[in-house]
Amino acid sequence: GDSVTQMEGPVTLSEEAFLTINCTYTATGYPSLFWYVQYPGEGLQLLLKATKADDKGSNKGFEATYRKETTSFHLEKGSVQVSDSAVYFCALESASKIIFGSGTRLSIRP
């Protein structure tokens, strides 16, 4: 069945460092791809999405490009801030159902 695999955390970086969180997927057809963020004690918020190959989703300085050839949707940010500390989930939508990865916890040191 469809699935999402993302890099295990925790990931700890210093402020202003470059961030990459890897995500690959397995799916039949051409799913939409998402990154969600979950801050402590809160629900999930949609961070960005891409609906077709080569689309780039972006929001709040984060970017991810839908790569069909490598079935990947890696999350990047050029300069992280302490406020970016959270858990990040890669997800795909197939047949109106969202399938989430297991999440990557990101901690940013001041």
Partner 1 sequence: EAEVAQSPRYKITEKSQAVAFWCDPISGHATLYWYRQILGQGPELLVQFQDESVVDDSQLPKDRFSAERLKGVDSTLKIQPAELGDSAMYLCASSYDRDQPQHFGDGTRLSIL
Residue 62 CB-density burial (10 A; 0-12 exposed, 13-18 middle, 19+ buried): buried
Would you state the structure tokens that stand for residue 104, as one six-digit string?
């990557």
Min dist. Cβ of residue 31 to partner 1 (A): 11
- Fill in the per-residue mask, 1 to 30: x = in contact with partner 1 (CB under 8 A), - = not in contact: ---x--------------------------
Q: Which is nearer to partner 1, 91 or 108 (CB)?
A: 91
Min dist. Cβ of residue 85 to partner 1 (A): 17
* Residue 84: φ, ψ to 5°: -85, -5
